[in-house]
Structure 1
Amino acid sequence: MSTAAVAQLQAQVNHLQHELSTVKTAEQSPHTGEQIFIGQYLVERLVQLGVTKMFGVPGDFNLGFLDFVEDHPKIDWVGNCNELNAGYAADGYARVKEGGLGVITTTFGVGELSATNAIAGAFSEHVPVLHIVGVPSTSQQKNKPMLHHTLGDGRYDAYYRAAQQFAIASANLDSKDTAAAEIDRVLTECIVRARPVYLMLPTDLAYQKIPAYRLKTPINQEPPENDPDVEAFAIDEITKLIQAAKHETIILVDACAIRHGVKKEVAELVRRTGFPVYSAPMGKTSFDEQYERYGGIYVGSISHPEIKEKVESAKLILSIGALKSDFNTGNFTYHVPIARTIELHSDSLSVQYATFPGIGMKRLLPKLTARLQPFEPTATLIPVPKFEYPVPREDNEIITQSYLWPRIGQFLRAKDIVVAETGTSSFGMLEVPFPTGAMFVSQILWGSIGWTVGATLGAALAGQELGYKRTILFVGDGSIQLTVQELSVMIRSGLKPIIFVLNNKGYTIERYLHGMTRKYNDISNWKWTNLLDTLGGEEGKTCQSYRVGTKSELSKLLDDPTFASAQKIQLVEMLMDPHDAPNALKRQAELSGKTNRYVAELPAAGQSAV
């Protein structure tokens, strides 16, 4: 049976177990007659799961439901400028609230389709987001009048069918008798499988009453149990391989270690065994980058030479939560053969060429750690390169990419959330060692331009709840133009992020991929230091803007205690060379360009193209 089939079967078993628990609760509860609106039931479930913010845009098919949201004392409505940004914000919120979920509410058709790009990105990167869609009443869906926001041809299920491509589970609530069970089912799938789910809430059904007793049975947030016999056999095989490798094993951590909640288990594995640990780009800050056994970021052929040598020469690699996308692997230049690899995932385990569907890493890791602890005396003898990125000495005042990122590294603190746009920012940040307790947020697989602005809004709100001190955004001038409106929501919400805008006159990552001097990679140059004031701030009071064009100006600002304290929302425009980029990005772009196989030479004058 395939891994996907096993995961689906486990989900069905979990759902049945939950339903049995609710039946027992109903039989034992003396208050089974208490009633609650379906819309209220949904909000209460979200509050139980730790959701305190809901993102989205109001529309006539969700307004009644939003009354329940606004009236609840423990959840806040964060109105966004558009649905795409709302989806990005829900994504950023969920990433910071590890183990929780983000929620976006839109209206039928025009609203939900605008959010689709954001939901697809969350799906690709394993981010749990609930998409609630206010839809026409159950009678309208049955009779199919030509309502606004429809396609005009009676296909009321068209958007539902489209949404299923980007959701791990979906439900069209069409009966009050099954509504609560369906809500519980999709929420369970969202949390346990860490991917988006889609929920249609008809206008009339939101205001129908159902028994409230189900709320006394908590949503199961734990992954399925592993088959004990298969798990024991797999641990035996892993142990044998490590013994055969004479304990020369390394650990490589990736994105799904974060998304599927095993950061603590990985930390315990490293602490008790002493094996060297590295991370992939999408796994950055999945492990404490100041820990003595942490060696840095492995990105295939574009890795730092010493890191590349240590990873690729290891006799055995314990890979945890891998997502082997092009930008995450140096354009698929990982040199880690299957014969030397053990892969742990949320819903499967691979030991060399054998796959064990249904053996999830969350329950496996503690048992594996206990088994491997005796290897600690020899494992700690394996050398680990020191992960550091010193500021280079450059005899000029230009803010170069090679200078900027290590200098920013000196500015970072514990309990910072750093959000980096795909491109120069994310590639530049990879080599920067983060302080203990800092978090890196980036969208390396989906790579939707402008994602970081909405994600910063969600990340900052989640960071407030969790005690993070600062939220810092690094974004290019081209990227921020797509989603800049959300700065106004940050101001309205009283958030105080520090926003570094890299003004390099266009799309630098695209220039390196193709068309270095083409005008399609150019953009309009905005008056960046006027943005915050225009979008609702009061310059000098509620917001502050800066423009730096030299190393000295930048360093002076970074060393300013008032600036660093982040007491108000701040924007820094950094003037940079449009043809400069981090070395890792240059190497990645070169590899990607070869893969894309653009025509290298145009036909000469007078010749025709074949």
Structure 2
Amino acid sequence: MAEITVGKYLFERLRQVNCNTIFGLPGDFNLSLLDKIYEVEGMRWAGNANELNAAYAADGYARIKGMACLITTFGVGELSALNGIAGSYAEHVGVLHVVGCPSTSSQAKQLLLHHTLGNGDFTVFHRMSANISETTAMVTDLAAAPSEIDRCIRTTYITQRTVYLGLPANIVDLMVPAKLLDTPIDLSLKPNDADAEKEVVDTVLELISEAKTPIILADACASRHNVKPELKDLINATQFPSFVTPMGKGAIDEQHPRFGGVYVGTLSDPEVKDVVENADLILSVGALLSDFNTGSFSYSYKTKNVVEFHSDHIKIRNASFPGVQMKFALQKLLSQIKPVVANYKPLPVPARKPANAEVADSTILKQEWLWNELGNFLQEGDVVLTETGTSAFGINQAHFPTDAYGISQVLWGSIGFSVGCCLGAAFAAEEISKTKRVILFVGDGSLQLTVQEISTMIRWGLTPYLFVLNNDGYTIEKLIHGPTAQYNNIQPWKHQKILETFGSTDGQSIEVRTTGEWKKLAACPNFNKNDKIRLIEVFLPEMDAPSNLVAQAKLTEAINAKQ
């Protein structure tokens, strides 16, 4: 075939980068584009319940697969997705947002079309998205269409940020040379400037050689920007005590003997806080230092010897090295580090917290017990999602097995995110392995924002575990402000009817109220098989919360009240 349509070219390119599920909703300006999905073998259209959920789902898929594609229609569709897109941009998640636009002739004539503002301005929504996109493109020139598509895909993948691609309805049916597909998109990083990289590595090696109590601290971008292999090698080569932030859960193998726990400033376990804050050198990999990720900015390092490795720059103490990428800098550092750490005497890491004390099986479930117990249920390779709220804080207490991956939108913190994200993660996990489990923890309040996406899970036969924490409303908000305020309450739902309502014929709905019921369920071999969708309603006291959330809520309320 000498020529293919622009639409088919887009989906062939996405298939080449292993982006096989497309999220979004149909609209009259993107229908012709959606037709082309079915022309490319191995591609599927998820078909979401609304655009916001679709954006959340694309985020979850991208965190597992490396990038995702979301397709919406002009105006009404794209604007509905922007909250999710902003979250992906903020948290370094590569989502390509493709918007089906009115034809080039309609735009040129400034026709008073539906989905416009009625003023003839067809660029306004593109301009809105430009503020939360790494780059944008509006394809109006057929000759440039393939190169613009390639540029947008490459930028999404390389920068792990959102990218906006506008495709007018008439353009997607026009023909371009098929042979262009024979040359893969170059997804490699450009090498660092040799001199700047050498200065970084030499300086870091010197700091390491002088350090007596160094530590490694991994954050979200270690996972997003694919330096987990280098991070693992760095821990093995140095044997430095190693920690993660809440957003960094999963960046380090928590079964590694040098893993010391989760550091959240003043909210950390005292032993963790002591080791991290008394270190004389901190190698920080992929930091995203938001308030909830740092215990409201309560990091209290005693040293100024902090090296920050980022995707597009390195910072050493007060010196910044723009353009020096951590991937290559870490690789070069690793090639020279062994003789420098040869005489290092490994310091002890904080001991793992003891298991829950034995309690009667009839004991009512509480958050502190639940999160300390969760590690016994988790399996190697699990994807664990936690909603903004009690679960996002409680998960810090759970000890992950090897190769478990944590997803929690700690920075953007959009309530309801996790349900849509769970859908995308479940699609991605299924494409990797049919046995890979996806486990969601969401509060009863957050669930009400995005519950429709459970319907999409059922439609596709996906098999996530949906743990709904029923604590009668927005507990995190009640802890911050208004514990008895009506605005923090919700209408109670019959959660046990949700799977049936959305059409599931083989899903499993379960209630758990006591420690004994939890332990029995978690130990059940059939329950642990990843063979059906399950909704587990976990009943918890209304104002019960993980201890670190109670402390964080007080900090947040104090900051919000400052003049």
CA distance in 1, matches of 2:521, 2:541: 20
Deviation track 1:198-234 (CA, whole Å, cap 9, x = no partner) reads: 0001010001111223222221212221111111122
Q: Is the 8 A contact 2:280 2:302 kept in 1?
A: no
CA distance in 2, matches of 1:302, 1:387: 17
Find the partner of 2:329 among 346, 364, 377: 364
Q: Is the 8 A contact 1:273 1:375 kept in 2?
A: no
Shift of 1:186: 1.3
Shift of 1:244: 2.2
Find the partner of 2:500 among 526, 533, 548: 533
User: Residue in 1 aligned with 2:486?
Assistant: 519
Find the partner of 1:121 among 87, 96, 101: 87
AA in 1 matched with 2:140: D
Q: Does 1:55 align with 2:23?
A: yes
CA distance in 2, matches of 1:186, 1:245: 43
Q: Does 1:319 align with 2:287?
A: no
User: Residue in 1 aligned with 2:457?
Assistant: 490
User: Residue in 1 aligned with 2:529?
Assistant: 565
**What is the TM-score when the length of structure 1 is the normalising length?**
0.90
CA distance in 2, matches of 1:283, 1:516: 30
User: Residue in 2 aligned with 1:19?
Assistant: none
Q: Is the 8 A contact 1:321 1:344 kept in 2?
A: yes
User: Residue in 1 aligned with 2:116?
Assistant: 150
AA in 2 matched with 1:293: R
Find the partner of 1:139 among 90, 100, 105: 105
Shift of 1:125: 0.2
Q: Is the 8 A contact 1:388 1:432 kept in 2?
A: no
CA distance in 2, matches of 1:341, 1:416: 32
User: Residue in 1 aligned with 2:400?
Assistant: 434
Greater mean deviation of Cα atoms: 445-454 or 367-376: 367-376
User: Residue in 2 aligned with 1:473?
Assistant: 440
User: Residue in 1 aligned with 2:514?
Assistant: 550
User: Residue in 1 aligned with 2:552?
Assistant: 588
Greater mean deviation of Cα atoms: 153-162 or 380-389: 380-389
Shift of 1:385: 1.3
AA in 2 matched with 1:36: I
CA distance in 1, matches of 2:356, 2:80: 42
AA in 2 matched with 1:109: G
CA distance in 1, matches of 2:68, 2:344: 40
SS of 1:563's partner is: coil
Q: Does 1:107 align with 2:73?
A: yes
SS of 1:594's partner is: helix
Shift of 1:272: 1.5
AA in 1 matched with 2:350: P
CA distance in 2, matches of 1:337, 1:346: 26
Q: Does 1:574 align with 2:541?
A: no
Find the partner of 1:420 among 376, 386, 409: 386
Shift of 1:397: 1.1
Q: Is the 8 A contact 2:67 2:96 kept in 1?
A: yes
CA distance in 1, matches of 2:422, 2:445: 17
AA in 2 matched with 1:577: P
Shift of 1:438: 1.3
Find the partner of 1:86 among 43, 46, 54: 54
CA distance in 1, matches of 2:268, 2:470: 27
Q: Is the 8 A contact 1:294 1:387 kept in 2?
A: no
Unaligned runs of 5+ in 2: none
Shift of 1:240: 1.3
AA in 2 matched with 1:495: L
Shift of 1:394: 4.6
User: Residue in 2 aligned with 1:293?
Assistant: 258
Q: Is the 8 A contact 1:273 1:374 kept in 2?
A: no
Deviation track 1:412-439 (CA, whole Å, cap 9, x = no partner) reads: 1112111111111111111211001211
Deviation track 1:525-569 (CA, whole Å, cap 9, x = no partner) reads: 00000000000112xxx1110112222222222222211213211
Shift of 1:337: 6.0
Equivalenced residues, count = 561
User: Residue in 1 aligned with 2:127?
Assistant: 161
Shift of 1:195: 0.3
Q: Is the 8 A contact 2:208 2:341 kept in 1?
A: no
- Structure 1 residues 380, 486: CA separation in 2 closer, same or farther (over 3 Å shift)? farther
CA distance in 2, matches of 1:393, 1:341: 42
CA distance in 2, matches of 1:50, 1:394: 48
User: Residue in 2 aligned with 1:212?
Assistant: 178
Q: Is the 8 A contact 1:388 1:433 kept in 2?
A: no
Find the partner of 1:384 among 333, 344, 349: 349
CA distance in 1, matches of 2:158, 2:105: 34
AA in 2 matched with 1:544: Q
Shift of 1:241: 1.4
SS of 1:564's partner is: coil
Q: Is the 8 A contact 2:8 2:39 kept in 1?
A: no
**What is the TM-score when the length of structure 2 is the normalising length?**
0.97
SS of 1:166's partner is: coil
Q: Is the 8 A contact 2:152 2:163 kept in 1?
A: yes
User: Residue in 2 aligned with 1:253?
Assistant: 218
CA distance in 2, matches of 1:338, 1:307: 16
User: Residue in 1 aligned with 2:411?
Assistant: 445
- Structure 1 residues 213, 337: CA separation in 2 closer, same or farther (over 3 Å shift)? farther
Deviation track 1:10-30 (CA, whole Å, cap 9, x = no partner) reads: xxxxxxxxxxxxxxxxxxxxx
User: Residue in 2 aligned with 1:336?
Assistant: 301
Find the partner of 2:163 among 181, 192, 197: 197
SS of 1:79's partner is: coil
Q: Is the 8 A contact 1:257 1:320 kept in 2?
A: yes
User: Residue in 2 aligned with 1:227?
Assistant: 193
Q: Is the 8 A contact 1:101 1:128 kept in 2?
A: yes
Displacement over 3 Å in runs of 4+: 375-380, 392-396
Deviation track 1:572-593 (CA, whole Å, cap 9, x = no partner) reads: 1111111100011111111111
SS of 1:440's partner is: strand
SS of 2:79's partner is: helix
CA distance in 1, matches of 2:303, 2:140: 47
CA distance in 1, matches of 2:483, 2:343: 50
User: Residue in 1 aligned with 2:141?
Assistant: 175
AA in 2 matched with 1:122: S
AA in 1 matched with 2:485: R
- Report sequence identity in percent: 48
Unaligned runs of 5+ in 1: 1-32, 600-610
Q: Does 1:283 align with 2:248?
A: yes
AA in 1 matched with 2:173: Y
CA distance in 1, matches of 2:437, 2:202: 45
Q: Does 1:72 align with 2:72?
A: no
CA distance in 2, matches of 1:466, 1:431: 28
- Structure 1 residues 389, 428: CA separation in 2 closer, same or farther (over 3 Å shift)? farther
